[in-house]
Chains A and B, each alone.
Chain A
Amino acid sequence: MSIDVVAEDPRDNLFLVALKSPSFMIGLVLTLIFSSAAVLSFIWTPFDVTEVDIAHKLLCPPFQDWIGNLGLPSPDNNWFSSWKCRNDPAYILGTDHLGRDMFSMILVGARTSIAVAFIAVGIGIVAGVPLGLAAAARLGSLVDELIMRTNDLVFAFPALLIAILITAVYGPSAVNAIIAIGIFNIPVFARLARGAALSLWTREFVLAAQVAGKGPARISLEHILPNILNLLIVQSTIQFSLGILAEAGLSYVGLGVQPPTPSWGRMLSDAQTMISFAPHMALLPGIAIILTVLGLNLMGDGLRDVFDPKLRRSRT
């Protein structure tokens, strides 16, 4: 009889359940596309992203005129610009104001974004989860109180203000952007781990482990952590997407990744003054950010549904 119960646990056929969720599949495909773009950029890009080539500057994507005229009666008018733009089929997404290939820059930008967000989420997990577990194991103690108060304090500084403080002193750099985003992830994971661990500490299997003589650290590691892993994975995808948005924002205002490393946020900041005659410079990196973030969010939602059908109703 107990076999039936186990077989109905959705985690056992997680793969099948995931396949049934269209939003999860869309998210997975988008995430795979952008992570392979990031990996691809290590071995191959159509052009060198640091090479300035003024002769080929501000080329439009070859398909821009066609899209720009969609739904408009006269070919002289255009949704994007009144400029007739040159294009070259070798540059499938056009070039920027320095003649760098947009497609290559977006590939390398994917690498930058993913690396920054990945490390920032890593900082959050590595520092936050042990803190949350410790707080739950010693509920109400000084440790718990101290950890939760410190978390409140970090929440009082939005990530952007932390970044501003750090860059004001150390100067802008990718490392400082990672630290600024990562610090903000710590309380998120600490809170999540604490809350989830608290409900597990009242369960029988934890009691059994206590009776067996295991200490709180060992119980947290061997019994609590494996049971909150699902929640942590879901939250990681969400924080990952927030990290990509934060990196883009910081790089856009010049506090993040520094030139000549391409980053989607920096590309947008370059594009701003050229938006009236080179809108593709603004549109393309923006679309890359949106699709990546959308993919991660859809994947996170899908995973949450799979891991916990009870939450399906109340997802936000």
Chain B
Amino acid sequence: MLVFILKRLLSLVLTLIAASVVIFFVIEVIPGDPASFMMGFEASPEAVDALREQLGLNAPLWERYINWIMALLRGDFGTSYTYKVPVAELVSDRIWVSLPLAIYALILSVVIAFPVGVLAASRRNSATDVTIMGATQLGIAVPNFWFAMILVLLLAIKARWFSAGGFPGWEEGFFPALKALTLPAVALALPQASILSRVMRSSLLDTLSEDYIRTARAKGLSRRQALWRHALRNALIPVLTIIGLQFSFLMAGSVIIEKVFFLPGMGSLVFLGITQRDLIVVKSVVMMLVFAVIVVAFLVDVAYAFVDPRLRKGRA
């Protein structure tokens, strides 16, 4: 078990290093000179030189990379060129929009997908199953930002149950903030719940055809008892992988949904960074999102080891 976690930890660190090198190269090396890129074509050479100095661009490449990583490890994400405030400060407010949104959507998706998947699997090939499979097929095909717009049209503009966008902030109380995140979370959760229901169903059907289920049935358990007592736990492993993938997708996917609802999250910060050519903001925020994705993948792998005793015994 410990060996498995250590091995995974090592590959986590290696992936993080590789990812940071890629981001560093794309942002700092490919544009040629980031300073003149950020200041635009009309900037005076003196101003560009000053910015070069300020960004430390005169140092050799490897030194700049090491400096960036060391600063990141100290929690220093650089200073936004447009806002003149530390990036960490810009992010610290916005992370409390993006992260709760992703978690909210993930919870919705799991809460919808579990019963739906179990229902479809337990009534395989019935009318219920066919309807669920058709509905999930449709759910996968719906772009979440389009669904978001339709939700706004029906529930915010027509019915006036929700506001069409914006975020009051958590200071305004838990429930108003949660309410503002509800439509975005529902929109994000629909395709994810559809995928997860299908994975849940097929994984359950796979386990239901295993020998130990037949043994359990032969022992006298009803199909339903066998499903709940034996199949469900074993069917959860592929489901767990998908949940892990979905979380990282939701963190990045909320970038688009934030735009629909004008939410002040990480995604809108990245777009601000792009439109204002603020490479420091783009670099740091993308690195943070990638960090989140990689760490979640790691945690899912470790959770695997806890759920599946076969992995714990060193088949890693």
* Chain A contact residues, CB within 8 Å of chain B: 23, 79-80, 149, 152-153, 156-158, 160-161, 164-169, 241, 245, 248-249, 252-253, 268, 271-272, 275-276, 279, 282-283, 285-286, 289-291, 293-294, 297-298, 301, 313-316
Contact = CB atoms under 8 A, between A and B. Distances in A.
A36 B176 CA distance: 48
Interface in B251-275: 252-253, 255-256, 259-260, 270-271, 273-274
Contact of A165 (B11, B27, B146, B201): B27
A292 B293 CA distance: 30
B145 interface: yes
A56 B26 CA distance: 45
Contacts, number: 130
B133 to A, nearest CB: 9
Contacts of B205: 313-314
Contacts of B15: 149, 152-153, 156
Interface stretch (B16-24, B48-56, B63-71, B75-83): B16-24
Contacts of A290: 138, 141-143, 146
Contacts of A161: 252, 286, 289-290
A156 B19 contact: yes
Given A156-B294, A290-B141, 4 more contacts: A161-B252, A245-B143, A275-B149, A297-B140
B141 A297 contact: yes
B126 interface: no
Q: Which of B15, B149, B282 has most chain A Cβ within 10 Å?
A: B149
Given A160-B252, A275-B153, A314-B205, A168 B273 contact: yes
A286 B273 CA distance: 28
Nearest to A245: B143
B22 A153 contact: yes
B153 A279 contact: yes
B22 A268 contact: no
Contacts of B314: none
A285 B145 CA distance: 12
A286 B146 CA distance: 6
Interface of B: 11, 14-15, 18-19, 22-23, 26-27, 30-31, 37, 137-138, 140-143, 145-146, 149-150, 152-153, 157-158, 195, 198-199, 201-202, 205-206, 209, 248-249, 252-253, 255-256, 259-260, 270-271, 273-274, 279, 282, 286, 289-290, 293-294, 297
Contacts of A315: 202
Contacts of B143: 245, 248-249, 252, 268, 286, 289-290
B137 A298 contact: yes
Contacts of A149: 14-15, 18
Contact of B26 (A165, A293, A313, A314): A165
Given A161-B289, A290-B142, A316-B198, A282 B19 contact: no
5 contacts: A149-B15, A241-B141, A315-B202, A316-B198, A316-B202
Q: Which of A157, A268, A279, A293 has most chain B Cβ within 10 Å?
A: A157
Contact of A253 (B158, B195, B202, B271): B271
B26 to A, nearest CB: 5
A279 B145 CA distance: 15
B203 to A, nearest CB: 8
Contacts of A253: 255-256, 259, 271
A164 B267 CA distance: 10
Nearest to A275: B153
Contacts of B198: 316
A252 B253 CA distance: 13
A231 to B, nearest CB: 17
A153 B19 CA distance: 7
A157 B137 contact: no
B130 to A, nearest CB: 10
Given A169-B30, A268-B146, A294 B249 contact: no
B149 A282 contact: yes
Given A158-B252, A268-B145, A293-B141, A164 B206 contact: no
A304 B157 CA distance: 42
A116 to B, nearest CB: 14
Nearest to A242: B140
A289 B202 contact: no
A149 B137 CA distance: 32
A294 B141 contact: yes
Contacts of B142: 286, 290
A110 to B, nearest CB: 15
